[in-house]
Amino acid sequence: PCVPTMYGRRYNLTKSMADSGNELHFITWDAPYPVSAESLYKQLFSTWRYKSYTHENFYVHKIRRLPFFWPKINGLLFKLQILKLFRELGGDVVISQGYTNEMEVPENIPLIYDMNDDMPAFAEIYGSKIYKLAFKLLNVNGVIESQCRQAAAVIVVSNPLINRAKQYNRQVYKIPNGINKKIIENIQNKPVKKDSVVYVSTFNQWARPIEAIQAVINLKGKFPDIELT
Q: Per residue in 173-182, pLDDT tens?
A: 998 766 666 7
Reported for 138-144, long-range contacts at CB under 8 A and 24+ positions apart, including other chains, are: 138/69, 138/71, 138/100, 138/101, 138/102, 139/71, 139/100, 139/101, 140/99, 140/100, 142/101, 143/98, 143/99, 143/100, 143/101, 143/103, 143/104, 144/99, 144/115, 144/119, 144/120
Q: Report the amino acid identity of residue 149.
A: R
Query: What secondary structure letter does DSSP report for 101?
Result: T
% of the chain surpassing 90 pLDDT: 43
Give me the chain's average pLDDT, please. Answer: 85
- Span 199-216, average pLDDT: 80
Q: Report the amino acid identity of residue 162.
A: I
The more confidently predicted of residues 149 and 193 is 149
The residue among 140, 229, 136, 124 whose CA lies nearest residue 185 is 229
pLDDT at 204: 66
pLDDT tens for each residue of 5-31? 544 556 667 777 888 888 989 898 887
- Span 130-154, average pLDDT: 92
Laid out side by side, the sheet with 51-55 consists of 25-28, 58-62, 51-55
- Span 185-213, average pLDDT: 76
- The CA-atom distances, in angstroms, between 27 and each of 14, 16, 88, 97, 110 are 11, 16, 14, 11, 16
pLDDT at 194: 77
What is the C-alpha separation between 159 and 144, in angstroms, rounded? 16
What is the C-alpha separation between 173 and 156, in angstroms, rounded? 6
Side-chain-side CA neighbours of 219 within 13 Å: the count stands at: 14
Q: pTM value?
A: 0.75
CA 8, distance to chain mean position in Å, is: 6
pLDDT at 9: 52
pLDDT tens for each residue of 95-138? 998 999 999 999 999 999 999 888 888 888 877 888 888 889 99
